[in-house]
Structure 1
Amino acid sequence: MTGFFAALGFLTRIPAPAFATGDAQGDLARAAPWLPVVGALVGAYVALALTLGAFAGPWIAALAGILTWVIITGALHLDGLADVADGLGAAHGDTQRFLEVARDSHLGSFGAVALVLQIAAKLILLAALAGRAGPHMLHLAPALILIAAWARWLPLALASAMPPLAGGMASRLAAGIRTPIVIVEAMALAALSAWLAPVLLAALPLAAGHALYWRARLGGITGDCHGASIEIMESLLLLALLLR
Structure 2
Amino acid sequence: MKGFVLATQFLTRLPTPRVAATAHDFAASIRWFPAVGLIVGMGVAGAAWAGAWLDAWCGAQAGLVAWVAITGALHLDGLADLADASGAAHRDRARLLAVLADPHLGSFGAVALAVQVLAKLVLLHALVAQGALAGVVLVPFVARIGPLAWARWIAPLHAGLGARFAGVVRGRDLALWAVALAVAALRCPALLLAVPGIALWGGWIVTRIGGISGDGHGAGIEWNETVLLLGLCVEARLWS
- Provide TM-score, normalisation by structure 2: 0.94
| Alignment equivalent of 1:80, drawn from 78, 81, 85 | 78
Greater shift, 174-183 or 41-50, is seen at 174-183
Once the two structures are TM-superposed, the CA of residue 94 in structure 1 deviates from its matched residue by 2.5
Residues 198-209 of structure 1: matches in 2 within 5 Å? 198-209=189-200
- Provide TM-score, normalisation by structure 1: 0.92
Give the corresponding residue for 1:187: 179
Give the corresponding residue for 2:166: 174
Give the corresponding residue for 1:48: 46
Give the corresponding residue for 1:121: 119
Q: Write the distance in 2 (CA, Å) between the matches of 1:91 and 1:59.
A: 38
Q: Write the distance in 2 (CA, Å) between the matches of 1:190 and 1:168.
A: 32
Letter in 2 for 1:12: T
Once the two structures are TM-superposed, the CA of residue 19 in structure 1 deviates from its matched residue by 2.1
Q: Write the distance in 1 (CA, Å) between the matches of 2:125 and 2:108.
A: 26
- Alpha carbons 1:93, 1:217 under 8 Å: kept: no
Structure 2 unmatched runs, 5+:
236-240
Once the two structures are TM-superposed, the CA of residue 93 in structure 1 deviates from its matched residue by 5.5
Once the two structures are TM-superposed, the CA of residue 57 in structure 1 deviates from its matched residue by 0.4
Aligned structure 1 segments of 4 or more residues deviating by more than 3 angstroms: none
Size of the alignment, in residue pairs? 235
Deviations 1:45-91 (A, max 9, x none): 00100110110100000000000000000000000000001101122
| 2:228 paired with 1:237 | yes
Q: Write the distance in 2 (CA, Å) between the matches of 1:212 and 1:182.
A: 18
Once the two structures are TM-superposed, the CA of residue 109 in structure 1 deviates from its matched residue by 0.8
Greater shift, 54-63 or 177-186, is seen at 177-186
Q: Write the distance in 1 (CA, Å) between the matches of 2:173 and 2:80.
A: 30
Residues 141-156 of structure 1: matches in 2 within 5 Å? 141=134, 143-156=135-148
- Alpha carbons 2:184, 2:191 under 8 Å: kept: no
Deviations 1:137-195 (A, max 9, x none): xx522x112211111110111111111111111111224211221122112212221x1
Give the corresponding residue for 1:140: 133
Q: Percent identity?
A: 48
- Alpha carbons 2:4, 2:29 under 8 Å: kept: yes
Letter in 2 for 1:73: T
| 2:165 paired with 1:196 | no
- Alpha carbons 2:152, 2:167 under 8 Å: kept: no
Specify the SS of the correspondent of 1:42. helix
Give the corresponding residue for 1:222: 213
RMSD across aligned positions (CA): 1.3
- Alpha carbons 2:86, 2:208 under 8 Å: kept: no
Distance 1:180 1:96, change over 3 A: farther
Q: Write the distance in 2 (CA, Å) between the matches of 1:61 and 1:73.
A: 18
